[in-house]
Amino acid sequence: MNKSPLSRSFSAGVGEWFGQSEVYDPTGRFLGYGRDQRNVQRDPDTGIVTIDVTFSGPFELAGSYTIADHGTYRVYQGPLNYGRAEPIGDNAVTAHNYWPDLGLSQRFALVVAQDQRTQLSLAVISRGEKLRYLVVGESHRRLDEDDIEPVFADTDPAGVAEDLNAGRGAALLHRRGSWSGQLVTCDGDLNPVGTTPYTETVTAAGDSLDLAWSGLHFAADATASFSVEGNSRFSPAHDVVGSGTLAGGRAVSSQLLFMSNERRLWSREIARADGSAKAVIHQWFEGERRIGAAVGHANFESSSHE
């Protein structure tokens, strides 16, 4: 029997994970690091997944919850976490969920790297319509008892509070250069249907940003210009219009409208802490009808000679 895309994504996530998250307030101010530990186990008979969570940092969270597999979607059944998620292909998931202990709702996106040992995630956390936190996560799977936990950054939030890039001095996503990789393309039901080579070229100067895309699959190659203000970027009237919110210059949540075919791009992009690569999740819509998606990783090559 073939596994559903959801089952495959569960397989990619089973195991013990440990990581470090960067937590930001709604204005992009760095609040500090979060220490994230998760143990994910699946019952082979029932298919029920149990996740034990410990998160310590600017806010605290600990407990467990179960997940029921329904083939094309999953349900978070509590008690720590309630909600619903959809897998995108084999190694990515998006979710809307609620943490009752915090009284906070979350829009979540996660991608497992090709090595199956690294996860990159972005959580947009709110109470009602009021944004509370942006959390950028990078976690690593422990394969055996001899695995050594990675050494995490130890930046003092007070020392970089005014730097919207958490002490890095520049936005990792806005460096001049190109991001290139293979994206898995999916149909409107998020089933994989193929792959496409993808490149995003970045030209940045001061508070302006120019992007050029090839390999979007659901739209023709395109360019767009953005103004950058605080932790947001936004476009003037053009062939591609829209805006996005940055988290530490390392992740972005955006919505763009491609006027050439009147399609809307819902996008989440999350860079590794070392800036070498980023995870990409693109979902494409005509109105409110999803027509497809693309997900994967892109490696960075700088074009700066500074």
Give the global pTM: 0.92
Residues 228 and 281 both lie in one domain: yes
Q: Please give the pLDDT value at position 170.
A: 86
Residues paired with 277 in a beta bridge = 299
Is residue 93 pLDDT above 50, yes or no?
A: yes
Residue 91 lies in a domain: yes
Asked, for residue 150, whether it belongs to a domain, the answer is no
Which residues span the domain enclosing 68? 5-144
Task: State residue 204's pLDDT score.
Answer: 80
Task: Flag whether 134 is in a domain.
Answer: yes
**Closest listed residue to residue 88, CA positions, set 14, 19, 12, 15:** 12
Same domain flag for 128 and 209 = no
In terms of domains, do 127 and 178 share one?
no
What angle (nearest 5°) sits at the alpha carbon of residue 293, between those of residues 78 and 179? 105
Short-list 271, 270, 272, 265, CA closest to 294:
265
Q: Which of 3, 38, 245 is nearest to 137 (CA)?
A: 38
- pLDDT category at 11 given cuts 50, 70, 90 is low
Regarding whether 286 and 207 lie in a shared domain, the answer is: yes
Radius of gyration of the chain, Cα coordinates, nearest whole angstrom? 19
> For residue 3, is pLDDT > 90?
no
Q: 246-280: buried (b, 16+ CB within 10 Å) or exposed (e) per residue?
A: bbbbbbbbbebebeeeebbbbbbbbbbbebebbbb
At 158 the pLDDT is 77
Question: Can you give the CATH number for the domain in which 132 is found?
Answer: 2.40.128.20
270: its two tokens: 């999350």
Q: Are 74 and 81 in contact (CB under 8 A)?
A: no
228/121 same-domain check:
no
Q: How confident is the model at residue 1 (pLDDT cuts 50, 70, 90)?
A: very low
Q: What is the pLDDT of residue 247?
A: 97
Same domain membership, residue 137 and residue 13: yes
Task: Examine the domain organization and report whether 189 and 259 are in the same domain.
Answer: yes
Asked if the model's pLDDT at residue 178 lies above 60, the reply is yes
> Residue 304: pLDDT above 80?
no
Model confidence at 151: pLDDT above 90: no
Q: How many beta carbons lie within 10 A of that of residue 199, not counting itself?
A: 16
Q: Are residues 210 and 134 in the same domain?
A: no
pLDDT in tens, 197-249: 999 999 987 789 999 999 999 999 999 999 999 999 999 999 999 999 999 99
Confidence of residue 146 (pLDDT cuts 50, 70, 90): low
Cβ contact 33:22 at 8 Å: yes
Q: Say if residues 87 and 53 touch (Cβ distance below 8 Å).
A: no
Q: How confident is the model at residue 150 (pLDDT cuts 50, 70, 90)?
A: low
Tell whether 119 and 176 lie within a shared domain: no
- Structural domain includes residue 47: yes
* Statement to judge: residues 187 and 135 lie in one domain: no
What is the 3-state secondary structure of 104-139?
EEEEEEEEECCCCCEEEEEEEEEECCEEEEEEEEEE
Q: Give the count of domains, the chain.
A: 2
* Residue 188 phi, psi (nearest 5): -65, -20
* Residue 185 CB neighbour total at 10 angstroms: 23
Taking 60 as the threshold, does the pLDDT of residue 7 lie above it? no
